[in-house]
Amino acid sequence: MNILVCIARAVETTAKISFTDNDTRFDDTGVQYIMNPYDEWYSLVRALELKEKEGGEVHVVCVGDSSSEQVIRKALAIGADKAFRIDLEPKTADETAFQLAEFAKSGNYDIIFTGKETVDYNSGLVPPMLSALLDWPFVGIVSDLEYENGEATLSREIEGGVEIVKASLPLVLSATKDLAEQRIPNMRGIMMAKRKPLEVVEAKETAPKVNFVGFSKPEKDTEITYVDPENMDELVRLLSEEAKVI
Amino acid sequence: MSILVFCENIEGTFKKNTLEAITYGRKLAEQTQSPLAAVVNGSPDVEVLKTYGIGKAYLLEGSNTGDSASLAKGIAGVCSKVDASTVILTYNSTGKSIAGQLGILCGAGVVNSVNALPSSLEPFQVSQSVFAGKAEAVVEVPGEKKVLGLQSNSIKIEEAPVDTIDTEIVTSDGGSRVEVIRQDKISGGVPLPEAELVVSGGRGFKGPENWNILEDLAGVLGAATACSRPVSDSDWRPHHEHVGQTGITIRPNLYIAIGISGAIQHLGGVNNSKTIVVINKDPEAPFFKAADYGVVGDLFDVVPRLTEAVKKYKGA
């Protein structure tokens, strides 16, 4: 089975969020980047487990400039066989999805794993866009995957529960928590990753259909009112009469 | 060009977030002086949509929400039929799967997690939540076609009744490649993403066996329950209840955080809540900085007392 795992670099979740250039750009001074956790912990690991059972290869692909190579090496250290970096620092989801789709068309992949969203921009658009560009079926926000006799059985999160679906390959899925257990790269993996192939692919021409024109942080001028823990009637009164929320 | 709202029919009913999407679409249609139409999966009774201003509904047969590709194709078909400039979807699990596909199929610019009406129509600019609610981005869509995924509780539902609703059945020819086996739903309870009142618990509860204290409060309030990341990581509660940067982002009217210290990743998921109440025995808990009301005390005493007080208030 040939598996493609799409990985992205994301802003580390405890990073301080601020903007620069007149609030038009995220200020990443001193900010740590990590492999997007949905891509790493769940998507990549489940792909590796599937390969261990079915055979074949796991390739990872990342749309990003050379600063993404650190997370790509980590994916190789965790166990991917080969990596590709599409040389473009993407600005929008449609741009990323287009590059990934063009790349995927050139390979002979049976299944494409993605994370459900990146933990910074959160739009979750790349996986469904990629599936539409390839005209492959899509199953989103997947927390369980079983594969038997050419058919995948997946659990996908829906409001207030899960839905169990069956799909044949090829398939694009987006992973959420519980799809796999996190793997920490060991020393041997890290050493081997240095020798595994990382190929740089030229990006194709595309015009994004949206652009980010500015950022802001919601200002909340909270003046806290403390309520006596013995007097919960007072809290109820405040919530009803002052905040008017109950 | 029309404004088209995807109205997700869940077992014959339309949820609150769909009514919000309709209100959003209707206001946008008024601003742009465009006709408004709805596209509905399946063919439920759509009379109720009249109340919110829908006079035309396309009923999409032959697609299930489990197969997002076939549903997206069906909606795209209606888009070209009504020459839609903008499609509004809810930013829930169905909408999240469809919006991106629809953008590709219609050649539209897609903005997800939209939290307000457009700040400008020419050029079209709209704000979206990013960094798990810790910031907002203004996104411009220069092209004629747009797909917007609307975050729950971003607009107040308004009634705008029309006299009649005209329906037309459309058949999706997408051909299903994903088959739904079954749904395992947790019965009862309020779905968290669309809840107006949320009671949330953290490690302060010490273990899942104490969750009934929180559930009692949620029960009397009619609130949804949520939790912090350590709680879902320890499997005290399911992952879909986990609020925060790696969980879900919510914006209820009332968020009561109990025994949650308030790490930055958690605050990101809830800081757009209208009113935040923090109950914690540690007066130094960072969450108090983001709170409107604070109670410093032992949750095992305070929460049952609050439950009783709410009962008394509701009974009055």
User: pLDDT tens digits, residue range B67-105?
Assistant: 999 999 999 999 999 999 999 999 999 999 999 999 999
How do residues B269-296 score in pLDDT, each as one tens digit? 898 899 999 999 999 999 999 999 999 9
Quick check: B105 and A229 CB within 8 A?
Answer: no
Question: Does B176 have pLDDT greater than 90?
Answer: no
* DSSP type of residue A160: T
Quick check: A166 and B181 CB within 8 A?
Answer: yes
For position B173, what pLDDT does the model report? 67
Quick check: B94 and A229 CB within 8 A?
Answer: no
Quick check: B291 and A222 CB within 8 A?
Answer: yes
Question: Does B187 have pLDDT greater than 70?
Answer: no
Q: Tell me if the bond preceding A170 is cis, omega within 30° of 0.
A: yes
For position A93, what pLDDT does the model report? 97
Expressed as residue numbers, the domain containing A191 is 2-218
Confidence tier at B189 by pLDDT (50, 70, 90): low
Quick check: B100 and A129 CB within 8 A?
Answer: yes
Quick check: B185 and A14 CB within 8 A?
Answer: no
Of B302, B248, B224, whose CA–CA distance to A233 is shortest? B302
How do residues B226-266 score in pLDDT, each as one tens digit? 999 999 999 999 888 999 888 888 989 999 999 999 998 89
Question: Does B63 have pLDDT greater than 80?
Answer: no
Pairing of strands B146-150, B135-141: unpaired
Looking at the partner chain, which of B104, B178, B191 has a beta carbon nearest the beta carbon of A139? B178
How do residues B203-227 score in pLDDT, each as one tens digit? 999 999 999 999 999 999 999 999 9
Does A161 fall in a domain? yes
Q: Which helix (H) or strand (E) holds B221?
A: helix B211-221
For position B125, what pLDDT does the model report? 98
Encoded tokens for A107: 């390979």
Quick check: A159 and B92 CB within 8 A?
Answer: yes
Confidence tier at B132 by pLDDT (50, 70, 90): confident
Q: How far off is chain A from B162, nearest CA to CA, in Å?
A: 30
Q: How far off is chain A from B164, nearest CA to CA, in Å?
A: 31
Looking at the partner chain, which of B109, B128, B246 has a beta carbon nearest the beta carbon of A209? B109
Pairing of strands B9-10, B13-14: antiparallel
Encoded tokens for B122: 């020419």
Tell me if domain B2-171 and domain B192-315 are identical in fold: yes
Quick check: B93 and A165 CB within 8 A?
Answer: no
Q: ipTM of this model?
A: 0.93
Q: Total domain count for chain A?
A: 1
How do residues B2-41 score in pLDDT, each as one tens digit? 999 999 998 899 999 999 999 999 999 999 999 999 999 9
Give the amino acid at B179: E
Give the amino acid at A127: P
Chain A residue closest to B294 (CA)? Answer: A226
Q: How far off is chain A from B207, nearest CA to CA, in Å?
A: 20
Are B152 and B194 in contact, with CB atoms under 8 Å apart? yes
Size of interface A-B (CB pairs under 8 A): 274
Residue with tokens 């539902």: B157
Quick check: A159 and B271 CB within 8 A?
Answer: no
Mean pLDDT over A2-16 rounds to 94
Domain B192-315 in CATH 3.40.50.1220: yes
Task: Please state the φ and ψ torsions of residue B38, each to the nearest 5 degrees.
Answer: -120, 150
Quick check: A165 and B291 CB within 8 A?
Answer: no
Quick check: B289 and A222 CB within 8 A?
Answer: yes
Helix runs in B3-162, H state only: 16-32, 68-82, 93-106
Side-chain-side CA neighbours of B152 within 13 Å: the count stands at: 23
Question: Does B188 have pLDDT greater than 70?
Answer: no
Contacts of B96 in chain A (CB under 8 A): 116, 124, 128, 140-141
Looking at the partner chain, which of A94, A215, A243 has a beta carbon nearest the beta carbon of B137? A215
Q: Beta partners for B10? A: B13
| Architecture in CATH for domain B2-171 | 3-Layer(aba) Sandwich (3.40)
Question: Does A220 have pLDDT greater than 70?
Answer: no
For position A222, what pLDDT does the model report? 67
| Burial track A34-57 (b if 16+ CB lie within 10 A, e otherwise) | bbbbbbbbbbbbbbbbbbeeeebe
Does A236 fall in a domain? no
Give the amino acid at B31: Q
Interface test mutation site (partner A, options B13, B86, B97, max chain A beta carbons within 10 A)? B97
Confidence tier at A32 by pLDDT (50, 70, 90): very high
Looking at the partner chain, which of A140, A215, A224 has a beta carbon nearest the beta carbon of B96? A140
Does A59 fall in a domain? yes
Contacts of A227 in chain B (CB under 8 A): 293-295
Question: Does B174 have pLDDT greater than 70?
Answer: no
Residue B53: which residues within 8 A CB-CB, separation 6 or more? B22, B23, B26, B36, B160, B161, B162
Looking at the partner chain, which of A136, A210, A233 has a beta carbon nearest the beta carbon of B140? A210
Quick check: A166 and B104 CB within 8 A?
Answer: no
Q: Tell me the CATH number at A129.
A: 3.40.50.620
Contacts of B102 in chain A (CB under 8 A): 132
Mean pLDDT over B162-180 rounds to 88
Are B26 and B4 in contact, with CB atoms under 8 Å apart? no
Spell out the domain ranges in chain B.
2-171, 192-315
* Rounded Cα gap, residues A170 and B235, in angstroms: 33
* DSSP type of residue A205: P
Which of left, alpha, beta for A219 (phi over 0: left; psi -120 to 50: alpha)?
beta
Q: How far is CA A85 from CA A7, A61, A63, A69, A200, in A?
A: 10, 6, 6, 8, 5
Encoded tokens for B233: 């990581």
How do residues B149-160 score in pLDDT, each as one tens digit? 999 999 999 999
